[in-house]
Amino acid sequence: MRYQVGDGDLTRAELTQLVTRNPDRQLRRQAWEARAQMSGNGERIRQAMKLRNQLALAYTDELFSTFMLRKKGMEAEKLFEWFEDIRDATEPEYQALLQQLRHDLHVDTVEPWDLEFYFSRSTKDFEQMQFVTEEGWPKAKQLLGSLGYNLDTLPVHMEVADLSFAGAAYPILYGKEVKILANRYSGIFFFDRLFHATGHALHYAMMNESSFLLSNNYAEPFDEGLAQVIVLQLYRPEIGVKLFTLTREETRVVADTYRLKAIFDLRSTMADSLFEFEAYADPEQDLTTLYNAIHSKYLGVDMHGVAVWAYNPMYGSDPIYLQSYIVGDMVAHQIAYSVDQRFGSCWGEQAGTYLQEHFYSRGAETTLDGIMRQGTGEPLSVRYLTEFLRGSRNTRPPWCGSPKS
Ligand SMILES: [Zn+2]
């Protein structure tokens, strides 16, 4: 798939680059609207949704969406409660963010093509110099090396390519062969996605269950959480200094921007996920209107009736997966908090051993709540994520030293 913007014939990564980085607002608008060039796919996805519902009804009395969510170890009611908790907890910060954005970009109305661009502005002075795509894999090796993990001896292989999705890790054979595909993005976003895939790869390489079924049936949000544990390291001040030779001030900018962008990203993903549940409940409805209404509510921006929903590749290839990103972030923040408490905020080999023993080696033998209880001392909670988003924790650089009280 190539996207037409003006005379340009762009890959997904190039289109992302335009929407998120180009200072020309009119061009950003064109690039954002070009996402609707995927809308031909929408009809095929609608057909797939109907087929999936039919298939589910052949074996259960539920919609495909409800059935799949339960199979992944979650109940809809609890999930939507967490979504509301996250939205409520971040409402003042999100409104302040929109206000700040209007002020800084000198615009009366925040548009969908302004949001991601806004975040890229704050790091533009140093980002392309310090976060170089070619250094991705060596940096990943260095980061994991500090935890005592050796990516040269772990069975993980990485390739960068032009992809129609953000990147992925694949367990070819648990514990024996793992492949990573990274999309050719640039800057911090490239590292974010690469470290995410590296976290998955660690999980697949370290999985130590007694059978293939126990390895392969891990709770999906748990796996997403283990991917995000490595991503969270990227935004830590001491990692910014050590791995990317940032100044302290730059590490502060990177951490603050990440927190604010996370508020936006999570709201956007929750809206994507809620849209999917609503779409399965009635696939015949006008999906563009539905998508845009939910996004307007969660993001406070008008989507102008543009049919951008089919741009999200997950609706076709990974149905009822999006909620696992939200719950995965809850998992990651709870694990990170717990490891900080035990080993201090500068993780070394002891933290690495703990992470491997309690998390990265675990599959489906224990439930997600069970693993969290054993590894962090309490069942899965939304608290550590919302505290992070509100900035009530980790806003000051957690420099290496003794464990926080
Ligand atoms: Zn993932």
Tell me the per-residue pLDDT of 72-114, one tens digit each, with 9 for 90 and over: 888 899 999 999 999 999 999 999 999 999 999 999 999 999 9
Residue 221 pLDDT more than 90?
yes
Look at residue 178 and give its three-state secondary structure: strand
Distance 169 CA to ligand 1 centre (A): 8
Class of 68-405 per CATH? mainly alpha
Distance 6 CA to ligand 1 centre (A): 33
Distance 109 CA to ligand 1 centre (A): 33
Distance 170 CA to ligand 1 centre (A): 10
Residue 183, Ramachandran bin (φ over 0: left; ψ between -120 and 50: alpha; else beta): beta
The whole-angstrom distance between residue 251's C-alpha and the CA centroid of its chain comes to 20
Distance 255 CA to ligand 1 centre (A): 21
Neighbours of 381 (CB within 10 A): 16
Give domain limits for the chain: 68-405
The whole-angstrom distance between residue 55's C-alpha and the CA centroid of its chain comes to 29
What is the pLDDT at residue 403?
43
Element (H, E) at 270: helix 248-281
The whole-angstrom distance between residue 219's C-alpha and the CA centroid of its chain comes to 16
Residue showing tokens 């500090």: 146
Distance 160 CA to ligand 1 centre (A): 16
Distance 323 CA to ligand 1 centre (A): 11
Distance 166 CA to ligand 1 centre (A): 9
What is the pLDDT at residue 400?
63
Residue showing tokens 């014939």: 9
User: Dihedral of the CA atoms 307, 303, 286, 270 (nearest 10)?
Assistant: 100
Residues 190/133, Cβ–Cβ less than 8 Å: yes
Residues 198/179, Cβ–Cβ less than 8 Å: no
Q: 139-153: string of b/e by CB count within 10 Å (b at 16+)?
A: bbbebbebbebebee
* Cα Rg, the chain, nearest whole Å: 21
Q: Report how far residue 299's alpha carbon sits from residue 117's, in angstroms, rounded to the nearest whole number.
A: 15
Which pairing describes strands 3-5 and 8-10: parallel, antiparallel, or unpaired? antiparallel
Q: pLDDT, tens digit, for every residue of 365-404?
A: 999 999 999 999 999 999 999 999 998 865 444 556 544 4
| Per-residue pLDDT band at 323 (split at 50, 70, 90) | very high
Residue 69 pLDDT more than 60?
yes
Distance 227 CA to ligand 1 centre (A): 6
Q: What is the mean pLDDT of the chain?
A: 93
Distance 61 CA to ligand 1 centre (A): 30
Name the pTM for this structure.
Answer: 0.93
Q: pLDDT, tens digit, for every residue of 137-192?
A: 999 999 999 999 999 999 999 999 888 788 899 999 999 999 999 988 889 999 99
Distance 197 CA to ligand 1 centre (A): 6
Give the list of residues 6+ apart from residue 249 with CB closer than 8 angstroms, or none: none
Distance 108 CA to ligand 1 centre (A): 36
Q: pLDDT, tens digit, for every residue of 222-250?
A: 999 999 999 999 999 999 999 999 999 99
Residues 307/36, Cβ–Cβ less than 8 Å: yes
Report the DSSP beta bridge partners of residue 181: 159, 168
What is the pLDDT at residue 395?
42
Q: Report how far residue 294's alpha carbon sits from residue 312's, in angstroms, rounded to the nearest whole number.
A: 15
What is the pLDDT at residue 393?
66
Distance 173 CA to ligand 1 centre (A): 18
Q: What is the DSSP letter of 403?
A: P
Distance 224 CA to ligand 1 centre (A): 5
Q: What is the DSSP letter of 34?
A: G
Distance 258 CA to ligand 1 centre (A): 18
Distance 58 CA to ligand 1 centre (A): 30
- Our CA angle for 43, 316, 167, nearest 5°, is 140
Q: Report how far residue 46's alpha carbon sits from residue 53's, in angstroms, rounded to the nearest whole number.
A: 11
Q: Report how far residue 362's alpha carbon sits from residue 344's, in angstroms, rounded to the nearest whole number.
A: 23
Q: Report how far residue 161's alpha carbon sits from residue 136's, in angstroms, rounded to the nearest whole number.
A: 13
DSSP for 35-52? GGGGTHHHHHHHHHHHHH
